[in-house]
Every structure is written in structure tokens, then in C-alpha cells.
Amino acid sequence: MTAATAKRILLTGFEPFDKDSVNPSWEVARALDGALIAGGVVHALQLPCVFGAAMPVLDEALAQLQPTLIISLGLAGGRTDITPERVAINMDDARIADNAGNQPVDQPVVREAPAAYFSTLPIKAMVRNLRDAGIPASVSNTAGTFVCNHVFYALMHRLARRAGPGVRGGFIHIPALPQQAAQHPGMASMALETQVQGIRSAIHTAMTVQEDLQENAGQLH
């Protein structure tokens, strides 16, 4: 199999934001650009960390590539593990401004659209396989209300309305890099090579597992 005959996998990451000079979501995505994984080739795409501007960039890539798998990555500073997200909510409520100075409060991502969408990725199987590989991972039940959730929701809304059969999508949050944690004492971090290995595993799972595991991944709070 060659890149020309492989299925297309779109893997997105964000530009740096909030005074950081690096964003692990983009570093991981670009490290995997061109990788052949389980019959698919990865196409990395950087998104602006800007409400309303990220989705036109993603829309153009979706139209051009027509991928069978779309995974968006984002930084969750403070988290200790790789966390596939379960649900996106139709709400923009920014604690800080985005890179264009926008700070929406209690605004829908898409007007007159459903309150939420669930990921169509096999998130529990992803977590199981990551843990089996010795990589910290857990299911997350909140993608926040910043640009990460904005992109996650808008992506799932588009897939629900337009995607053909077999197209899957979702969002995965990843921890900070050690160089970021060095500037924030006490912040959790994960080495870039571990994150790249973890997202490669997550992609492989998404390409090969059709029915997700039925096992507990709930939380009390």
C-alpha cells in the first residue's frame, strides 16, 4: 500500500496560544504528518486558535481531502494523561481571549443546533490500548468551552449533516510538554515522543475497532 492508495486521515492541531511559544497538539500532528497507519495516511493541519476562524480552515481541508477519519487535538494544560473526549457541547464561553482577542460568553457554536454531540471514535478502546502500551490515558467528559470544544462541536455537527457512511471524528486532549511545564511549576507534562506514540495508537484503534468497548469509564465529578 502507498500513500496514493491509502485512506485519508485528517489530524489537526492548534497554533500556540495564551503566551505559549509552542502547542503540543500541533507538534504531535506534524510529527505524524505522512505516517501510514492501519491503511490510512495522516494529513496534518494547523488550526488558528480563534473562534469562528478555525472552522473555515478545517472545512477547506474536509472538502479537499474527504477523509474517513478526523481527529482534532488540543492542549489541556494541567491534565496528566491523554484524554479522548466523549461529548462536545453547543456553547462558547471563554475564560480567556483567543488569539484574535475574541472572548464570547454564553454563545452557541451553531445557532438552532443540538445541545451536544457525542464523539464517533472508539474512545474506550483507545484508552484501553493506550494503557496497555504504558501510556497514561482516560476518557474525558468535558472538552471545556474554549476553542477546542468549539472545533469539536462544529466538526461533529458537520459530520452529522454531511458525512458519508464510515466517516468518524472526534477530539483528543493532550498534556503540556515538559518545556511548558518548566515555566509553570507543578504543571503536569508528558514527553513529545510519548504523546506521538499515544496518538499513533489512538489513530490505529480508530481505524481498526468498529464497536467500542462496553466498560466503565464514568466519573463521580
Place of cell 463521580: 220
For 132, other C-beta atoms within 10 Å of its C-beta total 10
Phi/psi at 45 (5° precision): -140, 130
The per-residue DSSP string of 50-61 comes to -TTTHHHHHHHH
For 34, other C-beta atoms within 10 Å of its C-beta total 11
DSSP letter (8 states) at residue 185:
T
Q: Distance between CA atoms of 41 and 32, rounded to whole angstroms? A: 9
For 214, other C-beta atoms within 10 Å of its C-beta total 6
| DSSP bridge partners of 116 | 89
**Can 49 be counted among the known catalytic residues?**
no
Residue 38's SS3 state is coil
Catalytic one of 49, 148, 150, 157: 148
Catalytic one of 49, 85, 150, 157: 85
Q: Say if CB 182 and CB 56 are below 8 A apart.
A: no
**Can 60 be counted among the known catalytic residues?**
no
**Can 148 be counted among the known catalytic residues?**
yes
Catalytic one of 43, 150, 157, 173: 173
| DSSP bridge partners of 85 | 140
Q: CA gyration radius for the chain?
A: 16
Point out the residues that are catalytic.
85, 148, 173
